[in-house]
Amino acid sequence: MQRLPAWLRPHLAAIRAVAVLTVLLGLIYPLTVTGLAQVLFHGSANGSLVGGDAGSVLIGQSFTDARGVPVGKYFQSRPSAAGDGYDPTATGASNLGPEDVVDTLPGPGEPGRQSLLTRVCARSKAAGELEGVSGARPYCTPGGAGAVLKVFPGHAVSVNQPCPTVPFVATYQGLRVECGRPGVDYAAGRTVPVRGDAGAPAVPADAVTASGSGLDPHISVAYADLQALRVARERGIALERVRTLVAEHTAGRVLGFIGEPAVNVLELNLALDRS
């Protein structure tokens, strides 16, 4: 057999290598891994779906009505910053830090923007009203906005309370406090968060902050305990029965020491429906 030209042999070797690797890594390996996953981890391999099309135990979801109002008979998930909420295609956090305390007030043609502090305050107020407890938190106004002043030489402004809202304090260190006016630049003022006299919050932190992924399907045991009375009342069942279901759907720490116990909201709500 006549030997191939020297310039052609490397090209043929490359083509053979591509063909062999394509078959091994593009066909045999994926089919083998997929087959093993379906046999050994069938539920996880198919998205850990539960309750038919109810959802996945790996991704949080809202339990609200068409208007976005929480449905009283269900445990509520923690907030989400992923898209419009729990959107796997837009997973992520708000990327707002603890120094984000000043709102951009809405005005003509301007939608405005809530600071992280005001978001936390508003969520805490809403959760407190839903559960029948105080939603007060340090550095929050009674109306659910960040209690933050911009202080100038002759006056101070409650920048997160748009006019004609009455400021949460009338004076600060002898200065008259005004409500915030949309469109006015208060950047030159000194930023002063006001702690107020609120004690330890009754609403847990995971009820007012989103997770890093925005998809967390769990809530803390403390948040589940806070909601148990409402769920029992709305469903007309014994509180102890609800607490038993919470305990049954509480996962412990990973490896016994990593993280905190957490409650899977979807599994818990499905168990409530079945009961």
Share of the chain above pLDDT 90, in %: 73
CB 243 within 8 A of CB 110: no
> Per-residue DSSP letters for 23-61?
HIIIIIHHHHHHHHHHHHSHHHHTT-EETTTTEETTS--
Six-digit token string for 118: 């005001």
pLDDT of residue 56: 84
What average pLDDT does the structure give for the chain?
91
Judged by average pLDDT, the poorest of 24-38, 127-141, 179-193 is 24-38
- What 8-state DSSP symbol labels residue 5? P
Radius of gyration of the chain (CA): 27
**pLDDT tens by residue, 132-153:** 999 999 999 999 999 999 999 9
- Distance between start and end Cα atoms, the chain: 79
Q: What is the pLDDT of residues 196-230, one digit of tens each?
A: 999 899 999 999 999 999 999 999 999 999 999 99
Beta bridge partners of 49: 56
Given a cut of 80, whether residue 4 has pLDDT beyond it is no
Take residue 172 and report the two structure tokens written for it. Answer: 């600060």
Evaluate if residue 117 carries a pLDDT over 90. yes
> What is the reported pLDDT for 163?
95
Q: Strand 148-151 vs strand 190-193: parallel, antiparallel, or unpaired?
A: antiparallel
pTM of the prediction?
0.83
Q: What number is the average pLDDT over the span 234-240? A: 97
DSSP-derived letter for residue 179 is E
The mean per-residue pLDDT over the stretch 78-89 comes to 92
Report the SS3 class of residue 243. helix
Residue 45 scores a pLDDT above 70: no
